[in-house]
Amino acid sequence: MGIMQQGMGSRQRLGVFGLSALGVVAAGVIGASYVKRPAPIVLDNNPVASSTTGRIMVHVIGAVKKPGVVRLSAGSRVQDALDAAGGPVEGADLSGLNLAALLADGTQIKVGSSDDPGSSTTDVAEPSAKAPSKASGGTSEALAPASISINTADSTQLDLLPGVGPATAAKIIEYRSAHGGFRSIDELEQVKGIGPKKLAKMRPFLKL
């Protein structure tokens, strides 16, 4: 009887040990499957902005309402430059322009007239390794002679002039408004902050 009880006790201990071993194996399998589970995919709701950033300057001349230098966003088209220049005047000939063409900094757009068909052109400025900067007393290579009208230019256009910053541009516009416009380029010396030397640097790019 004692021997039988010992045998049954051994079998019970073996059964408990077997169940415990199965539990360990099962836990290991579940843990392994959890570790191998792929990480969840996270969607970025804030994608990086387009690299097409910054500003360019384009010179629009010819048969437009406001010829001169216009400042546009990078990635702008020829049509955007024409709009910024007030649009074509009556009788303008746009047949020689690709209005959908992308613009580069320093481009000059010439809008011809119907009296001279095919005279409209788009010329891209050649890059210059030593282009003068405004900070060094020069001006942008996109600023052409006699391209800024002191009687119609806004503060952004006036700010392109050598030696002229936002404050001086505001004073020019204030004087122009108070006196009904400028009668001569020399009259700019009446604006506070503009003397003979500064006017001499500005003069090549000015017109009434």
- For residues 117 and 153, state if they share a domain: no
d(CA 155, CA 88): 22
Is residue 29 a part of any domain in this protein? no
Q: Does 72 have pLDDT greater than 90?
A: yes
Q: Which two tokens stand for residue 149?
A: 């009208």
Is residue 202 a part of any domain in this protein? yes
Best CA proximity match to 111, nearest among 120, 122, 123: 120
In SS3 terms, 3-30 reads as: HHHHHHHHHHHHHHHHHHHHHHHHHHHH
The mean pLDDT of 60-67, rounded to a whole number, is: 90
- For residues 88 and 103, state if they share a domain: yes
Q: Which residue has the higher pLDDT, 180 or 31?
A: 180
Q: Does 43 have pLDDT greater than 60?
A: no
- For residues 145 and 206, state if they share a domain: yes
- For residues 104 and 161, state if they share a domain: no
The mean pLDDT of 51-70, rounded to a whole number, is: 83
pLDDT band at 81 (very low <50, low <70, confident <90, very high): very high
Domain containing 198 equals: 130-208
pTM of the model as a whole: 0.38
Is residue 184 a part of any domain in this protein? yes
Q: Does 190 have pLDDT greater than 90?
A: yes
Neighbours of 141 (CB within 10 A): 17
Per-residue pLDDT tens over the stretch 117-127 = 666 677 655 44
Q: Which two tokens stand for residue 16?
A: 């408990």
- For residues 105 and 146, state if they share a domain: no
Is residue 155 a part of any domain in this protein? yes
d(CA 142, CA 56): 9
Q: Which two tokens stand for residue 195?
A: 């003397």
The CATH number of residue 180's host domain is 1.10.150.320
Provide the domain count of the chain: 2
The CATH number of residue 109's host domain is 3.10.20
- For residues 83 and 157, state if they share a domain: no
Bridge partners (DSSP) listed for residue 59? 69, 108
Per-residue pLDDT tens over the stretch 128-148 = 433 344 444 444 445 677 888
- For residues 144 and 93, state if they share a domain: no
